[in-house]
């Protein structure tokens, strides 16, 4: 009834946007791009999705205005478009965690089991950094670290962690972070470091959420 033509049109656009978010590969691509711009090649390698398929997904993301692609040398580099992309995905995640029984199950069974300690929120992390009372560990790949990270963070890839463990000061709490709240890297880092007797907690979110919330970011 009431033949709301323009509202209907808007809702259909909103739905189309939700469908763009409604694919696990595209969500993963968005997560990667939220760490920093990347050429298609790297996205292919890092996700394990086939080349042409990544390209097609990127195209859908671009058509929806979520990413932009530009040529840099031989590669076409995609980056997140300005706008509340991270926020929208976070809202989706929050809804899923709250309302979907299966999601609560996976989180409880898998993640809470590895790390039962309460993770550190952004506000607390910031004040701990300001008082210099904590060592912050970024376990993402080096290029993602380079294109943006939380100030004072040290970048030690998970693969390199075993070998460089002596670089970490003892007797000081370590906080580890990663791409997002369920990035497995930081969970594994926490597990590995705890086994060596370090006091480690995870940052509750990841770099993109930190940045989207307006906290300071360092590039180098």
d(C-alpha 20, C-alpha 41), whole Å: 21
Q: Are 165 and 200 in contact (CB under 8 A)?
A: no
Pick out residues in 11-70 that bind a second copy (CB under 8 A). Answer: 11-19, 21-24, 26-28, 45-48, 64-66
Bridge partner residues of 200 (DSSP) = 174
71 lies in the binding site for DNA (CB under 7 A): yes
Query: Cα(5)–Cα(11) distance, rounded to whole angstroms?
Result: 10
To which H or E segment does residue 70 belong? strand 67-72
Alpha-helix residue ranges (DSSP H) falling in the chain: 5-21, 24-35, 40-47, 51-63, 85-99, 101-106, 112-114, 122-130, 142-146, 158-161, 184-195, 207-212
183 tagged catalytic: no
Closest CA to 88 of 8, 17, 35: 17
Answer yes or no whether residue 157 interacts with DNA by CB under 7 A: no
User: Which residue number, 102 or 132, has a Cβ lying nearer to a second copy?
Assistant: 102
Q: How far is the CB of 216 from DNA (least distance, A)?
A: 30
Find the catalytic residue in 137, 178, 189, 193.
178
Asked if 79 is part of the footprint of a second copy (rule: CB under 8 A), the reply reads: no
Shortest CB 181 distance to DNA, Å: 23
Q: Compose the 20-59 pattern: x for residues touching DNA by CB under 7 A, - for all others.
A: --xx-x-------------xxx--x----xxxxx-xxxxx
8-27 footprint of DNA as x/- string (CB under 7 A): -----------x--xx-x--
* Distance in Å, CB of 94 to a second copy, minimum: 5
Q: Which residues bind DNA (CB under 7 A)?
A: 19, 22-23, 25, 39-41, 44, 49-53, 55-60, 69, 71, 73-77
């Amino acid at each position: 009834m009431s033949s709301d033509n323009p509202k209907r049109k808007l809702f259909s656009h909103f739905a189309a946007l939700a469908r763009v978010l409604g694919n696990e590969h595209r969500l993963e691509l968005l997560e990667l791009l939220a760490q920093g711009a990347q050429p298609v090649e790297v996205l292919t390698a890092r996700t394990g999705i086939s080349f042409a398929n990544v390209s097609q997904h990127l195209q859908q993301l671009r058509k929806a205005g979520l990413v932009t692609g530009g040529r840099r040398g031989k590669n076409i580099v995609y980056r997140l478009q300005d706008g509340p992309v991270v926020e929208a995905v976070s809202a989706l995640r929050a809804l899923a965690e709250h309302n979907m029984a299966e999601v609560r199950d996976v989180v409880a069974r898998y993640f809470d089991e590895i790390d039962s300690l309460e993770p550190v929120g952004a506000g607390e992390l910031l004040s701990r950094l300001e008082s210099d009372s904590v060592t912050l560990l970024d376990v993402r790949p080096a290029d993602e670290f380079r294109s943006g990270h939380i100030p004072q963070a040290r970048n030690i890839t998970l693969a390199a962690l075993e070998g460089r463990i002596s670089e970490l000061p003892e007797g000081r709490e370590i906080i580890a972070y990663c791409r997002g709240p369920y990035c497995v890297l930081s969970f594994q880092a926490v597990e590995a470091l705890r086994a060596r007797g370090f006091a480690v907690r995870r940052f509750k979110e990841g770099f993109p959420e930190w940045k989207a919330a307006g906290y300071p970011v360092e590039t180098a």
